[in-house]
Amino acid sequence: MAFIETVYGNLQGLKSSQLKQLQRLYHQRLPGDRITTSEFAQRLAAISTEIAQPVCAYINRRGQVLRVGVGNPRQTQIPPAELPRYGAERLCGIRCVATQLKQDPPGESALTAMAMQRLDALVTFTLTGGGFERRGGGATGYIKGGYLAHLVPHPEANWTVSPVLSLDEIAEQDLNELVEGLEAEFRREYTAQQVDRDHDQVLVVGLMTDNRSQQAFRDGLAELGRLVETAGGEVLQTLKQKRPRPHPQTVVGEGKVQEIALTAQTIGASLVVFDRDLSPTQVRNLEALIGVRVVDRTEVILDIFAQRAQSGAGKLQVELAQLEYRLPRLSGRGQAMSRLGGGIGTRGPGETKLETERRSIQRRITRLQQEVTQLQAHRARMRQRRQHEEVPSIAVVGYTNAGKSTLLNALTNAEVYTADQLFATLDPTTRRLKVIDSESHESTSLLLTDTVGFIHELPPSLVDAFRATLEEVTEADALLHVVDLSHPAWQNQIRSVMKILSEMPIAPGPVLLVFNKIDQVDGENLSLAQEEFPQAAFISASDRLGLETLRQRLCQLVRYAGVVR
């Protein structure tokens, strides 16, 4: 098998004769059962001494040199996309033999590069600074000593580095015995980790920028963890970085990308989730550097919506949101996305596969938007019928998981699905509620509509796709804004919901604030809310506390809304 004799890394200032020496390393063949030979190591060290730069050679288990680079293991490493995909229980089948100008053991950067590539081993040779000197006795050659490093499958350490060894000691190391022993340990560790792992193992990454407060950042990360769990994933670890602004190419800095890649590999993560929206370029760059699938917060929310949608209308709106999110993220995927069509009428410039897919998605979006428009018209007719009956309507709104569906069930004995999850219900449910007015003792009928939960920075594609559902909010006579008082960020959640309501095309009617889950809060929080919002109602929907008072407040709300009309 012939390899292209490309020399990687920093080639600036090298003479053509030196480049040829580096290229000739590709012609070397090493024994399969030895990490290196004295002859190969001395040749590598001779070139490194001449050019006064570190040199790395990457060799497969058949003893073939796959890659030669000028620079340290971090600068010359093999990109994840070009590495064999063996999984967490195997090494990649490639070892690196390197030289270094310093006399110290290999540094964190080189060892991290070894771990990210899952190399069989990393050997770093320190140099004497001269060549073979036979005058006066022994021939030391170009190599002073070396270090042997390799990965270990232990949670407290990623790798191990030997004390300084002679060239002969390293050349006598049995590579097969080392690799077989390591892979047997990795398999045992991998099998133990895989027990009960039938869902995504997630590494969450948060970026703290100058325009976010410490509290908002913490709340956002906690919420993202809940979103991941709701989507069916398991958060194994969370990494954070503080930067003035996101890096345009990779969101986080280069060092943090390395840390993410190493952590994902160490803990066995199958997915990396960022706490902000990512551009298509950022996703592509991150996946290439980390070697694991990367998604952003919006994609997690869309996945939850796709799982939760039950009715035809809900599925329709979710598909529209997903396609609108996906369209701008289509990008060339090498040759697969740039083939021209075949047959009569397709010759010439033609149309790339990327353009074909983009047009296909655009057609589907147009059709779905028409169906959503029809859905809006259908809902409008339903509302007109209700209005014709002159039954006041109240839309129940609030942050996701505030307890809206539980409250609807408690008030009307409905059987709406409830769970301690984000976005447990997507489809709006309308139920009739009869209330006896304590003042007039007259019976009043109301229509309560449970709506989709709101969330901080609700993705624009969702707002657009769910416009038919959100119209239930703008067309209602009044709103019941349910707040989870037990949530540490309840004040921010109120602000998030009010912000979304203020951006509605039609201003909603009067709002009654209802604090839910008062059975789970301390007296201090309760007093703070009562002081800040004296007109609000305080209830526990699950324990049916304060519901009669709430019914009376609903009567007052309807009367007030009627006066406004």
- Euclidean distance between CA atoms 524 and 513, whole angstroms: 19
485 pLDDT more than 70: yes
- The least confident of 167-181, 414-428, 462-476, 526-540 is 414-428
- The least confident of 147-156, 207-216, 556-565 is 556-565
pLDDT category of residue 350 using cuts at 50, 70 and 90:
very low
pLDDT category of residue 389 using cuts at 50, 70 and 90:
low
Residues 100-151 pLDDT 10s: 999 999 998 898 889 888 899 999 999 988 776 555 444 468 999 999 999 8
> What tokens were used for 256?
């943090």
Average pLDDT over residues 374-378: 75
What's the pLDDT score for residue 198?
59
The backbone torsions φ and ψ at residue 105, rounded to the nearest 5 degrees and listed phi first, read: -65, 165
Average pLDDT over residues 531-539: 92
pLDDT category of residue 416 using cuts at 50, 70 and 90:
low
What's the pLDDT score for residue 304?
83
Average pLDDT along the chain: 82
Q: What three-state secondary structure class fits 427?
A: coil
533 pLDDT more than 60: yes
- The least confident of 230-239, 263-272, 411-420 is 411-420
CA dist list (Å): 160 to 112, 182, 409, 526: 12, 12, 59, 55
Instruction: Tell me whether residue 261 is exposed, middle or buried, using C-beta atoms within 10 angstroms of its C-beta: 0 to 12, 13 to 18, 19 or more.
Output: buried
The whole-model pTM stands at 0.71
3 pLDDT more than 70: no
The sign of the torsion formed by the CA atoms of 241, 245, 247, 251 equals: positive
565 pLDDT more than 50: no
> Which residue(s) pair with 450 in the sheet?
396, 429
- Euclidean distance between CA atoms 288 and 272, whole angstroms: 13
- The least confident of 40-54, 340-354, 442-456 is 340-354
Average pLDDT over residues 202-215: 90
| Structure-model confidence comparison of residues 370 and 517, the more confident one | 517
| Structure-model confidence comparison of residues 364 and 134, the more confident one | 364
CB–CB of 360/415 below 8 Å?
no
351 pLDDT more than 60: no
> What tokens were used for 479?
């709103």
Question: What does the DSSP assignment read for 297-334?
Answer: HHHHHHHHHHHH--SHHHHHHHHHHHHHHHGGG----G
What's the pLDDT score for residue 375?
75
- Euclidean distance between CA atoms 90 and 118, whole angstroms: 8
CA dihedral 338, 339, 344, 349 (to 10 degrees): 30
Residues 301-345 pLDDT 10s: 888 888 877 667 777 778 888 888 877 776 644 434 444 444 444
What's the pLDDT score for residue 156?
66
Average pLDDT over residues 495-515: 83
